[in-house]
Amino acid sequence: MQTKIRFFSVTFDFPRDELISRVIAASRRVPDKITLADFDEARPSASLYLFQPRNISIARRNEDGEVVWDSVETVDRIAVKIHISKQYAVISAINSPRSSKFVDMLMSELCSDTKYFYEAMEIEEALVKKHVSKFDAARLVSAKVRDFAVYEGAVGRFEVTSKNGLVDDIAPFLRGKFYRVDSLTYELTHGFSNFLVTYSSGGGIKVNENHLDLLLTTFEKLI
């Protein structure tokens, strides 16, 4: 089963060494929203569960046999980790909703008296190459690129794949041209494991859940 991890870069006004104390305080103040699972004051970092209510629509038949729609409230439980990286704080969320409202909820509780700013973390090609080099073997097997010039006033987007692996510059006709990378998929080998990982420039990584811990541990050390 594929698991998606989304990454957000966060800046805030309070000192970094206050992060854990603020997380602990928030989990005690609003336990219905934030549950603290684990923390490391030395790093600092914390693993949390966030609980975010949302409404879903369900269909049912009334006594006359007509289909009617009702709104039912449910709760999403989102596994989140927040830690201090080399440049900023990073929030990673596993299989989170498409909306980033849960990041706002968390940061508003941690920064009730200060300002904060967050955005999807950009995963650049250089970072991806550093990460895949941490494994025994890595082969680029798929890439999506965009914004390369086709002719004056027109730009293109395409995906190229090869089970035998792609060349470093993805496609010969892109050599020397400007383009942006949307996503890169690598086949990684580590020990006795062989698996696929997809890196999205918009701050997401997809990997089989069996290799999630290995992937996160090595990736977090680079950011």
In CATH, 2-120 is 3.90.660: no
pLDDT at 207: 94
pLDDT at 136: 93
Global confidence as pTM: 0.86
Per-residue pLDDT reduced to its tens digit, 94-148: 999 888 999 999 999 998 888 999 999 999 989 999 999 999 999 999 999 988 8
Q: How confident is the model at residue 4 (pLDDT cuts 50, 70, 90)?
A: very high
Per-residue pLDDT reduced to its tens digit, 70-88: 888 888 899 999 998 877 8
Q: How confident is the model at residue 13 (pLDDT cuts 50, 70, 90)?
A: confident
Mean pLDDT value across the chain: 89
Per domain, the residue ranges of the chain are 2-120, 125-220
Give bridge partners of residue 89 from the DSSP assignment: 10, 84
In whole angstroms, what is the distance from residue 63 CA to residue 104 CA?
42
pLDDT at 75: 87
pLDDT at 177: 81
Please, is 88 exposed, middle or buried when counting C-beta atoms within 10 Å of its C-beta (0-12, 13-18, 19+)? middle
Higher pLDDT among residues 66 and 122, named by residue: 122
